[in-house]
Structure 1
Amino acid sequence: MYQYILIFLLFISFGINAQNISGQAFYQSKTTVDLDALGGGRGEMTEEMKKTISQMMKSTLEKTYILTFNKEESLYKEEEKLDATPMNPRFKMVLNSYTPGAQYKNLKSGKIIEENEFFGKQFLVTDSIKTLDWRITKESKPIGQYIAFKATAIKKVDPNDFSMARPKKKDEKENSGVKKDSAQLQDPMDMIEIPEEIEVTAWFTPQIPVSNGPGEYAGLPGLILELNVYRTTLLCSKIVMNPKDAETIEPPKKGMEVTREEYNKIVKEKTEELRENFQNSGGNGRRGGGFGG
């Protein structure tokens, strides 16, 4: 039965202003963190400690994004907010060492251009849209005033994508390297792992006939209204169709132009440098600086 509903919605949607469609979708993002696994083997956190850390990380784990789109292009960026959350300066510096900026997608050319700030240096990263092998299921649900259909896909994870990092299990930590003196702080890189692949779940609506969605995701027969990627959920909270005062959709231009491969190499080299500095300092918290030049 769902096939007929989907076909009907596709027929109706693509027949109504499909060529001139434009809009803005607002997404609420929430990422979960296993605070128990962040103890690093130094004892479990108290509930008060968990509450304090959760409050400190709230601005990082809960964000609002805006997708401005038309039939062929989109601009995806975080909504600017004043963050008044008190935070330890060093902790804040670590969280802000990587800051994603505006992301432009062109569905016709298959290109993505995005601004990324990494340890104080601005990069303009160019990549191709990675087409996932979406499997549309029989499940559907209402999201706001729209009917959304569920689709799933398996995504290969870049080994340098630390947004996908997860704490290693206890036995994996014990077997990950040489034994360290108990007085020496454990190398953070020995405490995490990055999965090779993850499952992505999207809920899309053919009532808005654009093959687009938040972030890098696209390729479904309708706008993605909800997205679940590993520990992060993005849920569309508001849609404004054909807005008069929407931001102009154009590629970002700020930063050193690099390909995705070049950018990943820079991230890997900088991460290895910071890890070496950490090990040479005996884990006393000394950090390497930003980029030279």
Structure 2
Amino acid sequence: MYKNAKEVDLFLHFRNNESYYYLQESLDELDKYNTTVGAVSAIPYYRNSANNSTYEISTYVGIVKRTPLDWKITNKTKKIGKYICNQALATETLFSRQGHYYTEKVEAWFTTEIPVSFGPKLYTGLPGLVLEINKNKISITATEINLNPKKGLNITVPNLNKIITQEQANKKWEELAEASKQRRKK
């Protein structure tokens, strides 16, 4: 699956204390995404840095408040585009749709030259914009940065009155996996 995966374009919009990370839903991108389902997640994420909260917006289980990662900043640096970036490492605990927990190492490269605590998906909370994420066989890399957009940015704020915990989301994933297993048996 990873060998046949195609690149997809995802977007991170940020303004003031908010960010929104999402897949641009065009027919071309959806076709690419269909061949990349296991390699990249098109689930949108909303972040409010004022209260250090990140929310995963899943159509399957609901709006999930995610626990921030515990980043360890290293001494390593590298240049991405025109920005000097610092390395940060974390271990992410994930819940499989088969009903068990597992961990993955995450490497982030962030630049303090853009002093916002945003990044793709859950990879936020560092003292600069995250420009690259590496984990397992997946890489997310910023390919274009526009700090002065001519058009207004779309920051989609989810209905925060309907938030569920990560544990509640895991339970819903378990139920969905079990229902899927039962359908396959029939």
**Structure 2 residue identity aligned to 1:76:** Y
1:112 aligns with 2:81: no
The offset of 1:71, in angstroms, is 4.0
- 1:138 deviates by 1.9
CA–CA distance in structure 1, aligned partners of residues 51 and 31 of structure 2 = 43
Q: Is the 8 A contact 1:100 1:116 kept in 2?
A: no
Tell me which amino acid in the other structure corresponds to 2:127: P
Q: 1:73 aligns with which of 18, 31, 36?
A: 18
Structure number with larger C-alpha Rg: 1
Change (3 A) 1:86 1:270: closer
Identity of aligned residues (%): 31
SS at match of 1:245: coil
Q: Partners of 1:77 and 1:86 in 2: how far apart?
A: 16
Query: 1:33: Cα distance to partner?
Result: 2.3
How big is each residue's C-alpha offset from its partner over 1:176-209, in whole Å with a ceiling of 9 and x where there is no partner? xxxxxxxxxxxxx6xxx96621111000100000
Correspondence for 1:210:
116
> Deviation of residue 221 (structure 1)?
1.2
- Counterpart secondary structure, 1:227: strand
CA apart distance, 1:230: 2.1
Is 1:127 aligned with 2:44? no
- Aligned AA (1:33): Y
By how many angstroms is 1:81 displaced? 2.7
Alignment of 1:189-268 (within 5 A): 196-253=102-159, 257-260=162-165, 261-268=167-174
Q: Contact 2:54/2:68 (CA < 8 Å) preserved in 1?
A: no
Name the residue aligned to 2:92. 155
After TM superposition, give the deviation of residue 83 of structure 1 in Å.
3.0
How many angstroms apart in 2 are the aligned matches of 1:101 and 1:155?
A: 17
Shift of 1:84: 8.6
**Counterparts of 2:13 and 2:106 in 1: how far apart (Å)?**
22
Unaligned runs of 5+ in 1: 1-31, 35-53, 163-188, 282-293
Alpha-carbon distance, 1:101 to partner = 4.0
SS at match of 1:153: strand
Distance 1:102 1:133, change over 3 A: closer
Report the TM-score when normalising by structure 1: 0.53
Please list the CA deviations of residues 12-65 of structure 1 after superposition, one character each: whole Å capped at 9, or x if unmatched: xxxxxxxxxxxxxxxxxxxx626xxxxxxxxxxxxxxxxxxx3xx53xxx2111
When residues 246 and 144 of structure 1 are mapped into structure 2, their CA distance, relative to the original with a 3 A threshold, is farther
Q: More relative contact order in 1 or in 2 (CA 8 Å, sep 6+)? A: 1
Secondary structure (helix, strand or coil) at the match of 1:77 reads: strand
Q: Deviations over 1:69-97 (max 9, x none)?
A: 1342101111233239989xxxx6xx59x
Alpha-carbon separation, structure 2, partners of 1:84 and 1:214? 18
2:114 counterpart letter in structure 1: I
What TM-score comes out, normalization by structure 2 length? 0.80
Asked if structure 1 preserves the Cα contact closer than 8 Å seen for 2:11 and 2:22, the reply is yes
Mapping for residues 29-108 of structure 1, pairs under 5 Å: 33=2, 54=4, 58=6, 62-83=7-28, 100-108=42-50
Amino acid in structure 2 at the alignment position of 1:125 = I
